[in-house]
Structure 1
Amino acid sequence: MPADPPPALLMYDGSRPELAARAESLRPAIERLLPVVATESDLDAPFDPQGAEIAIAMGGDGTILRSARRMGADQIPVVGVNLGKLGFLAGIHPDDLEAVLPQVAERKHRLVNHLMIDCSIVRGGETVQTRLGLNEAAILAGEPFRMIEVDLRIDGALAATYSSDGMLVATPVGSTAHNLAIGGPILRKDLAALVVSAINPHTLTVRPVIDSAERVYEMTVPDPNPGTALMVDGQVVGLLKPADTVRVVRSPAVFQLVEVAGQTYYRTLREKLGWGRQPGRRK
């Protein structure tokens, strides 16, 4: 073990026995290079780093999102180990741990900061709920699944009124998630910007809007469906009542992802999105 390796905290979803077993099987390889000071398998419990300088989150991107939300204002750098499928954030394959961890142990890794968002429901001028997000804030029309109208204001000025199945405000990290699925653009992850997209808009001229993360984004639903809800990173925050406003602002919290030699942004996009050379094509 190197002379001054960072103390590590292991994080995984203990409610999934198969995933927990796979995560625990990696412990010996981790402990050979890093001092493990604690294990956290309840991703909904209050966060206590217990002296750790780095977290090793094992699972899929959902595990990373839950870990980031759980850390709140007390973010520590995260090594994402992919035990799931796609793995944009959990980008390190378990087979590569023995090659990756020496760089972490010798503190030769890079830290890439990712902006986070505070997403609030404002009712009658009062904030009734707030949730920290890494990927996106989404207003979904919900049952009975008729379109809703959403007024978008940016820094208090009315930008547009959308008739759609909902609205999405995504971070650069979230731009490759739900935003990508509805045809939104990909934002490089170190940009200080957000993308606002309508979900299945009624008007074909509606297009996503990219603007600074320093602005205040407010979406008001004058007449929501009974099932219209705010979701942040795939988790329901609450149902929206008539004239409720969803406010999205840049959070003081910053998610820090560990990157090592060989990991690059476009390599990740190329491999995860299948942007490689077509089969049979000449080099």
Structure 2
Amino acid sequence: MSRRILVLAHTGREESLKAAREACRELIASGLIPVMDPEERADMALFFGERDEPAEVLGSDCELPDVELGMVLGGDGTILRAAEMVRDQNLPLLGVNLGHVGFLAESERADLKDTVRWIARRDYVVEERMTIDIQVWVKGQRLWHTWALNEVSLEKGNRERMLEVVMEVDERPLTSFGCDGVVMATPTGSTAYAFSAGGPVVWPEVEALLMVPISAHALFTKPLVVSPRSRLAVEVLTRTDAHGVLWCDGRRSIDLPPGSRIEVTRSDKPVRLARTHQTPFSARLVSKFELPTSGWRGPMHQSRNEPTGPVPVINQPKPSTPVPSPKHL
């Protein structure tokens, strides 16, 4: 049975075009069939001229249900775009980082050939990443309904005017303040915009929702980590006429007038990411952020039956002269 691999790339960049061409050639050499989006395949042909490696065209030669895996060449933005494309089909995505940090990517550009070999051997596992469901209400009417893998961010629309908002958790108001915005994120998004806004880093397997104020003018403006079953909401107050802008994964946006309400809950449809390495998340943090770890000695691997050593006892010398008690002073 033919195995098809969807190759997605940021074809507006020369490096991505070259990586996509190499990926297609390596896939064919491994007995796999590369598939490309028609616009991206046209960009490849325009850049390289006539191509000698055949790649099927999505929508003409095959459809998404016929594809086994999506191989995404680019940074986190390219992976987020790919997630929009394949989420409804539950197609897993494997990212090859061509960007700077590339936190969602599984491998680096130098590992491209190895990555294709891992795909050919089916030497990968698929994990599900939580997504969030977002609804926007204005004057009692639902204006927008969408989703996000990383975060939804409410930001002020005018640089010179701060937003007045009230945060809500589980249908109870928590606090109101002026701010530049509020980020509501998943654990996957904790290392993205929420991280830049001062939020905590949350391990991907932790099920939680985050709420992180941006440059808030109030006493209680700490980042919040709540249950994945909670319902988060932010309302844009009408005390001023400041407008806001809502961004989902930095890709989709909508303008918000005063009085708008944003509701966020866990979505029942995750995004599936393929992993070829079972690298601990802590190691990924160290690698991606180039964190210093010098001086680390590591855990002490001892047998459970090995007895502990004697506890040293330090004998305190007795004072030569008795110390008088306070009542005799």
- Counterparts of 1:220-235 in structure 2 under 5 Å? 220-223=235-238, 227-235=243-251
Change (3 A) 1:41 1:176: farther
Q: Which has the higher contact order (CA 8 A, sep 6+)?
A: 1
Q: What is the DSSP-based 3-state SS (H/G/I as helix, E as strand, rest coil) of the residue aligned with 1:26? A: helix
1:12-23 correspondence to structure 2 within 5 Å: 12-23=9-20
Name the structure 2 match of 1:209. 224
Whether 1:268 aligns to 2:265 is no
Local SS of the residue matching 2:175: strand
Q: Secondary structure of 1:167's partner?
A: strand
Aligned CA distance change for structure 1 residues 85 and 225 (closer, same or farther; 3 Å): farther
Q: Residues 183, 144 of structure 1: CA spacing in aligned structure 2 closer, same or farther, 3 A cutoff?
A: closer
| TM-score (structure 2 length as normaliser) | 0.76
Match of 1:198 in 2: 213
TM-score normalised by L of structure 1: 0.88
CA distance in 2, matches of 1:77, 1:162: 40
| 1:175 and 2:172 matched | no
Return the letter of the residue paired with 1:254: P
For 1:49 and 1:38, the matched residues in 2 are separated by: 10
Does the 8 Å CA contact 1:6/1:52 hold for their aligned counterparts?
Answer: yes
CA displacement at 1:264 relative to structure 2:
2.7
Local SS of the residue matching 1:213:
coil
Q: What RMSD, in angstroms, separates the aligned Cα atoms of the two structures?
A: 2.4
| 1:86-235 alignment runs, 5 A limit | 86-223=101-238, 227-235=243-251
Distance 1:205 1:122, change over 3 A: closer
The offset of 1:212, in angstroms, is 1.4
Once the two structures are superposed, what CA deviation does each residue of 1:220-267 show, in whole Å capped at 9, x if it has no partner? Answer: 102365551101111242111121111111112211111123533111
1:252 pairs with 2:249: no
**Number of matched residues?**
276
- Contact map agreement 1:196 1:208 (CA 8 A) in 2: yes
- Residue 276 of structure 1: how far off its partner (Å): 3.5
CA distance in structure 2 between the partners assigned to 1:97 and 1:22 by the alignment: 8
Could you say if the C-alpha distance between residues 65 and 225 of structure 1 is closer, same or farther in structure 2, counting changes exceeding 3 Å?
farther
| Match in the other structure for 1:242 | 258
Structure 1 245/259 Cα, relative in aligned 2: closer, same or farther at 3 Å? same
Q: The residue matched to 1:253 in structure 2 has which SS? A: coil
Residue 11 of structure 1 pairs with residue 27 of structure 2: no
Give 5+ residue unaligned stretches, structure 2: 41-57, 298-329
Match of 1:69, as an amino acid?
Answer: E
CA contact (8 A) 1:121 1:247 kept: yes
Runs of 4+ displaced beyond 6 Å: none
What do residues 178-204 of structure 1 show as CA deviations (whole Å, max 9, x unaligned)?
Answer: 111111100111221111010011124
Post-superposition offset of 1:18:
4.4
TM-fit CA distance, 1:91? 3.1
